[in-house]
């Protein structure tokens, strides 16, 4: 391939051992300001996303930066930025089915120097331009330097599974980076890059809105369940493709259990599963063990205490970049189990069960007044996923130098379920998420696990964890202090002492950046039965035996 004009400014290729306190990949890019050394120091804040190597590519009046965690193509030839045809690219992503795509490009005369999936991006851009983004079956965030125009083009996958943020430097140039912590101190306002968009010529262009149905699918229940089964299974299998060791987070709930069950059927050795629970009332540990035993998994339980939870809280808020109550609660357990995995295993990839509830319903969506209301809520949740559950999975896993893969976020699967007639998805069966459960009836899981009602992850780690957090916040502020301090915030104002605690921690690390998150994740308060002041499903009247 013809090499571009961009030259390597500095190379810092650290072949660190896996136990460095350092995940996935981190990217940064800008053009137009003479800030190379200053920006590089900000880029180092996310070295944990890519502890294996770092490379900075000089673009003359800007640069592309890449911290690498090697997953596909484990030798140095897969190191980014890639440069060809006068263009360069950095990408945090996985391109599924890339081997077939690579063969097609080789048939057009392209040659490749590595086994990295991301090396395909520059030939694809040469062939299709920005139309390539719509073609990708991928989880990705990328920054591409177009040598002909001298501009940066950035893009993000339709769900926002891979993180990307942007802001404007004092000199008015835009800068892109994997996490907001890369931009704090550089930019006055930091915002998430909108999923399903690309940025070019100063504009954000939507190339795919995965939340919006394109055509109503009126399949009957059995047909729908067969397609749900087949598409989810395909999504899981493609995410098992990695040149590095793969593990599974197993809560004992439906979603993570299904991911494990399908993977266990297809892999030739026992899968490695990990669960976390409090040292008292760890609700889901027993269910996770039941699933692991059924699947013959190599299973590990990680036990945490109240002291572990409170000690981790500031770090969790710092790594998340959010003040959202339910995201922080659910992240503490996830962060600690991933920390254990990083410190005690050689795993590099984790499969998780996120993005099922947004598609098939939460406990509170049982109160949806109509199929249309259910669908509108699902669309809202999918649009905002990148600020909540997807953010949680990415940060908790990546900060521990691991890569998250989310099979329920498979684009073909999500598109089908979002297009499915909402009358089929509304809970008219007396069982939440019935279509998903029915799709996998048989011998995938024990029947009582397959049909067990959902327990919220943050609560299921142990009811005491959320209670401990509330108690800690209650002791931290008097009523008078709470009223005075919460009035300082006009955007997403804290409404409980716990939410004030999280907001104050957030402001410590991300001052003035609250608008990175649209609001607190809460049930739809406009629906009867959902006007609650806590995001936990425990406060809903239909929670019943979910947490037992």
Q: What is the DSSP letter of 154?
A: E
Q: Three-state SS for 219? A: coil
Residue with tokens 């949740």: 381
Q: What is the DSSP string of 391-408?
A: HHHHHHHHTTT-EEE-GG
Q: What is the DSSP letter of 271?
A: P
Question: Taking the chain, what is the end-to-end CA distance rounded to the nearest angstrom?
Answer: 60
Per residue, what are the HEC states of 323-376? CCHHHHHHHHHHHHHHHHHHHHCCCCEEECCCCCHHHHCCCHHHHCCCHHHHHH
Query: How far is CA 77 from each of CA 80, 82, 114, 141, 518, rounded to the nearest angstrom?
Result: 8, 10, 5, 20, 40
Measured CA to CA, the distance from residue 50 to residue 26 in angstroms comes to: 6
Measured CA to CA, the distance from residue 20 to residue 436 in angstroms comes to: 40
Which residues lie closer than 8 Å to 425 by C-beta, 6 or more apart? 359, 360, 361, 371, 374, 375, 378, 417, 435
Considering 25, 118, 187, 260, which one is annotated as catalytic? 25
In the numeric block, which tokens belong to residue 86? 């006068």
- Determine whether 25 is an active site residue: yes
Q: What is the DSSP letter of 46?
A: G
Rg (CA), the chain: 23
Measured CA to CA, the distance from residue 521 to residue 535 in angstroms comes to: 7
Query: How far is CA 410 from each of CA 159, 168, 244, 286, rounded to the nearest angstrom?
Result: 9, 32, 21, 29
Measured CA to CA, the distance from residue 327 to residue 2 in angstroms comes to: 46
CA neighbor of 406 nearest in space, from 356, 360, 352, 357: 352
Q: What is the DSSP letter of 537?
A: G
Measured CA to CA, the distance from residue 215 to residue 232 in angstroms comes to: 20
In this structure, are residues 287 and 465 in contact, taking their beta carbons and an 8 Å threshold?
Answer: no
Angle, vertex CA 124, rays to CA 157 and CA 53, nearest 5: 70
Residue with tokens 């608008």: 515
Measured CA to CA, the distance from residue 280 to residue 461 in angstroms comes to: 10
Measured CA to CA, the distance from residue 308 to residue 278 in angstroms comes to: 9
Q: Which residues are catalytic?
A: 25
């Amino acid at each position: 391939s013809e090499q571009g004009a961009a030259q390597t400014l500095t190379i810092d290729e650290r072949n660190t051992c896996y136990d460095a306190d350092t995940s996935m990949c981190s990217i940064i890019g800008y053009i137009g300001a003479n800030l190379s050394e200053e920006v590089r120091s900000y880029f180092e804040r996310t070295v944990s996303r890519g502890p294996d190597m770092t490379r900075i590519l000089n673009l003359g009046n800007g640069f592309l930066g890449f911290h690498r965690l090697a997953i596909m193509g484990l030798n140095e030839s897969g190191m980014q930025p890639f440069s060809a045809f006068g263009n360069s690219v950095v990408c945090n992503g996985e391109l599924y089915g890339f081997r077939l795509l690579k063969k097609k490009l080789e048939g057009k005369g392209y040659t490749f120097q590595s086994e990295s999936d991301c090396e395909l991006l520059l030939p694809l851009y040469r062939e299709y331009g920005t139309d390539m983004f719509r073609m990708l079956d991928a989880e990705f965030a990328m920054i591409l330097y177009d040598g002909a125009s001298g501009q940066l083009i950035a893009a993000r996958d339709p769900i926002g599974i891979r993180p990307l943020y942007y802001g404007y430097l004092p000199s008015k140039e835009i800068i892109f980076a994997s996490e907001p912590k890369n931009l704090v101190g550089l930019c006055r306002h930091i915002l998430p890059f909108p999923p399903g968009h690309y940025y070019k010529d100063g504009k954000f262009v939507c190339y795919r809105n995965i939340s919006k149905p394109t055509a109503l699918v009126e399949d009957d229940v059995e047909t729908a369940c067969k397609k749900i089964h087949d598409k989810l299974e395909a999504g899981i299998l493609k995410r098992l493709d990695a040149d590095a060791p793969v593990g599974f987070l197993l809560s004992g709930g439906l979603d993570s259990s299904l991911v494990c069950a399908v993977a266990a059927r297809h892999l030739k050795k026992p899968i490695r599963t990990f669960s976390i629970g409090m040292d008292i009332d760890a609700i889901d540990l027993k269910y996770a063990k039941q699933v692991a035993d059924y699947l013959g998994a190599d299973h590990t339980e990680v036990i945490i205490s109240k002291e572990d939870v409170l000690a981790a809280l500031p770090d969790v808020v710092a790594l998340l970049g959010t003040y959202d109550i339910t995201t922080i609660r659910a992240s503490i357990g996830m962060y600690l189990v991933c920390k254990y995995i990083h410190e005690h295993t050689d795993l590099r990839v984790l499969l998780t069960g996120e993005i099922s509830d947004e598609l098939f319903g939460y406990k509170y969506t049982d109160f949806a007044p109509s199929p249309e209301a259910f669908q509108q809520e699902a669309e809202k949740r999918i649009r905002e996923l990148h600020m909540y559950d997807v953010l949680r999975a990415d940060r908790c896993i990546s900060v521990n130098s691991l890569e998250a893969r989310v099979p329920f976020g498979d684009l073909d699967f999500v598109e089908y379920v979002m297009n499915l007639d909402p009358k089929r998805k509304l809970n008219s069966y007396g069982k939440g998420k019935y279509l998903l459960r029915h799709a996998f009836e048989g011998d995938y899981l024990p029947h009582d696990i397959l049909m067990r009602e959902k327990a919220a992850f943050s609560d299921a780690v142990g009811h005491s964890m959320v209670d401990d957090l509330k108690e800690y916040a209650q002791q931290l502020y008097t009523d008078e202090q709470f009223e005075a301090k919460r009035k300082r915030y006009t955007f997403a104002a804290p409404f409980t002492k716990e939410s004030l605690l999280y907001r104050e921690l957030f402001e410590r690390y991300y001052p003035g950046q609250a608008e990175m998150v649209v609001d607190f994740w809460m049930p739809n308060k406009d629906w009867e039965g959902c006007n609650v002041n806590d995001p936990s499903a425990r406060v809903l009247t239909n929670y019943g035996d979910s947490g037992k």
